[in-house]
Structure 1
């Protein structure tokens, strides 16, 4: 896409890399670049520093209508809703609305492997990347990966490069107008999420479906057969389609009974959902003709991704698990099912107005104690927990509602006994108490490591013993 001399407005600088990459790319392509974000300059200081020296004008702490009337092209951050009134102003004045990942796909000369889904996409994306890297393939990773400027990867990509991209529903929205999909598409699952942004599950699913909708017949798509939504999408895909099924014990091509057995179950990752992720990633690797011994070795050594059921430390016989990217009730339920030990759960936050389903029942049945963080989601969860405790004839597990994160962690440590798991798996968004879920996870990690350091001298003889 020709940007030289065009008036380009980047809407949403953010802190995770997408807005930074869009602004850098547009400036380096010779565009006249403005960046606008409602966050103030002090919050966005790291992102501003990353763009130092480039001819970019910053309009921060507000969005101005005049900037959207000025722009010929608006590159919107994935977190900006499609129906934003500011985008409507830009469209009314003839502006083209673009997104970073779509611009990347249009310019990328390599073979793209896209991964999407409600849960598991980061783990699946990362494992595919690690297997390809172990096999000595030229490979890069990007997309919806925190801190990665995906457009900035373009100079190192050649036609033979494999480009592994995590893709969110919001990023995939940008594919529709260009009729683009990756050469290899992977869908992990679909559960209720982002229904504060999308009108229905059907609309949310339609955004996700852009990952395969515009594939060519020779392209490849792999779907989780055990999830009803992704199974249905697999029947619609125009490319060569495979299904992966834990229930059936392997993978198989659409319309065939031929089964490729799942032989890579030897993984340190906890939970059935992670076995689904491993099955999807290893299916893709096998279809890309990576030798089984390289796949098996990588799976055995793969410890997962930060912030996703991440074991931070074991202190005084208590394991501390960071699952801060659990921002939906479904994710909260899956985290509980990954452990057999008694659980001290830290949950709560702000709501996306998603159904709680059987999450409260699982919490009451599996958790010895629950510490809740203040927020609109907690207001939905608390009465459901108390009603479920009464129904099951169990004591109310809630030990407090906290407006300070570290106070909740103090309470969890005080309650924990040897053999317990202290699990941060909120099931809701982080906004209000934190900038984002990653800040929530980083603060959990910092707290646990400080606790470990504080108790380290006393712990060493016990560990040796």
Structure 2
């Protein structure tokens, strides 16, 4: 960890806790700052705040009082989930108080370089693949951010021999100042989080911040099949490294004649990759690019790609029962993610889908249902998804109460060589606290079948 004196005796407000806020507050306290923590949850229900109080940190809980901003704070470190239209953030800007997120602190203290990954889809899979490839190649990676441990905790332990592989959201990137990754990856861009950002352009601009501080000594690895992503690259000062599963490129990572290729060098045959799905080929190519630029051998890359079956809840292979294969794609909380999952299989599919009703219809799924022989629905959107299934001509449609009941229903509907796929196309919050809980229930139900 670098010796940082910039926060010594500075008065700093940490707004919002969760893991990142706790880590930021503790780190700033170690760096000699006068830290105040403000969290909306009452102190009696807030063990994180109670722990910080025991460290000698000032804690204010139960509300976000605007007049707190008049106490002379020189910096605010905010929880990424707090939007910029929050009155406390707007009040900070009115008073000229700078606002950052915890990842900026991690960068400032880290001795290790960063490989940073963002995008609408594929961030977690790409981050995990890079970590696994570098680990297999003996490169001493550490994993951080939205996947793994909070960035500022990892950065305190990192040395110059490490590389921090970090998944970043648009929320986190809006709070950076000096953050400069050695490699930045932009997987893709689709409409998302518009309730937070307001407009598509604001969302794209937030994602583009991942490369704003990069120089010609750095790399910007980007999807070469999306104009919006290419445009971000055109504004970057880094060396551009494109990837494409569909087109041969002059340089970068691409697929040609059934092979993965990087800068003209064949790495391995696509058919030997364990991870299913055309969309995952994008993730794989970006990971290959980052790993090759990090000096990872082809042998290490091949070792990972011939064994890696997916991140939990993201098109995760669960097992086989009586000739049926089960996949957990509970992270598919939108239509696009389910379309990608359905496109990953050539076998007949029994689809488990449904969840929180956000007011949208599911007509966009109809063309993707061509490989679906049966569907089991649940949750608030069950009727809407059934309507799309009937429009697609699916004959076997059954509604059940929940995911646990959906698994045996799908099994009864299926036969040997079918894929039984949980890919809900909806958020989980109508029935389950998180998509992880929903996925774990699916996994448990599959194991009960065994």
Q: Distance in 1 between matches of 2:250 and 2:230?
A: 13
Between the two proteins, the alignment pairs up a number of residues equal to 436
Question: Tell me, what secondary structure is at the counterpart of 2:195?
Answer: coil
Match 1:97 to one of 96, 99, 102: 99
Q: Distance in 1 between matches of 2:319 and 2:44?
A: 33
The equivalent residue for 2:139 is: 137
Alignment partner of 1:206 is 2:210? no
The equivalent residue for 1:83 is: 85
Q: Distance in 2 between matches of 1:318 and 1:173?
A: 44
Alignment partner of 1:361 is 2:367? yes
Match 2:113 to one of 108, 111, 114: 111
Moved more, 62-71 or 214-223: 62-71
Q: Distance in 2 between matches of 1:32 and 1:129?
A: 36
Q: Distance in 2 between matches of 1:42 and 1:363?
A: 50
Question: Tell me, what secondary structure is at the counterpart of 2:378?
Answer: strand
TM-score computed with the length of structure 2 as normaliser: 0.85
Instruction: State the 1:424 CA deviation.
Output: 2.0
The equivalent residue for 2:257 is: none
Instruction: State the 1:281 CA deviation.
Output: 0.8
Instruction: State the 1:413 CA deviation.
Output: 4.6
Alignment partner of 1:173 is 2:174? yes
Q: Distance in 1 between matches of 2:98 and 2:61?
A: 22
Deviations 1:257-308, CA, capped at 9 Å, x for gaps: 9744453522210101112211111122222232222222222222321121
Question: Tell me, what secondary structure is at the counterpart of 1:346?
Answer: strand
Q: Distance in 2 between matches of 1:319 and 1:66?
A: 58
Map 1:39-58 onto structure 2 (within 5 A). Answer: 53-56=54-57
Question: Tell me, what secondary structure is at the counterpart of 1:8?
Answer: strand
Is the Cα–Cα contact under 8 Å of residues 77 and 102 in structure 2 kept in the other structure? yes
Match 1:10 to one of 11, 14, 18: 14
Alignment partner of 1:222 is 2:228? no
Q: Distance in 2 between matches of 1:42 and 1:434?
A: 25
Q: Distance in 2 between matches of 1:28 and 1:39?
A: 24
Alignment partner of 1:241 is 2:246? no
Q: Distance in 1 between matches of 2:111 and 2:208?
A: 23
Match 2:351 to one of 345, 352, 359: 345
Change (3 A) 1:291 1:49: farther
Q: Distance in 1 between matches of 2:409 and 2:52?
A: 42
Instruction: State the 1:162 CA deviation.
Output: 1.5
The equivalent residue for 2:152 is: 151
Instruction: State the 1:35 CA deviation.
Output: 3.9
Question: Tell me, what secondary structure is at the counterpart of 1:298?
Answer: helix
Unaligned stretches of 5+ residues in structure 2: 254-261
The equivalent residue for 2:423 is: 425
Moved more, 283-292 or 98-107: 283-292
Q: Distance in 2 between matches of 1:38 and 1:418?
A: 52
Is the Cα–Cα contact under 8 Å of residues 192 and 201 in structure 1 kept in the other structure? yes
Question: Tell me, what secondary structure is at the counterpart of 2:376?
Answer: strand
TM-score computed with the length of structure 1 as normaliser: 0.82
Is the Cα–Cα contact under 8 Å of residues 9 and 67 in structure 1 kept in the other structure? no
Is the Cα–Cα contact under 8 Å of residues 195 and 352 in structure 1 kept in the other structure? no
Deviations 1:433-462, CA, capped at 9 Å, x for gaps: 33332233233333433x15xx4xxxxxxx
Question: Tell me, what secondary structure is at the counterpart of 1:263?
Answer: strand
Q: Distance in 1 between matches of 2:61 and 2:421?
A: 37
**CA RMSD for the aligned pairs?**
3.2
Question: Tell me, what secondary structure is at the counterpart of 1:289?
Answer: coil
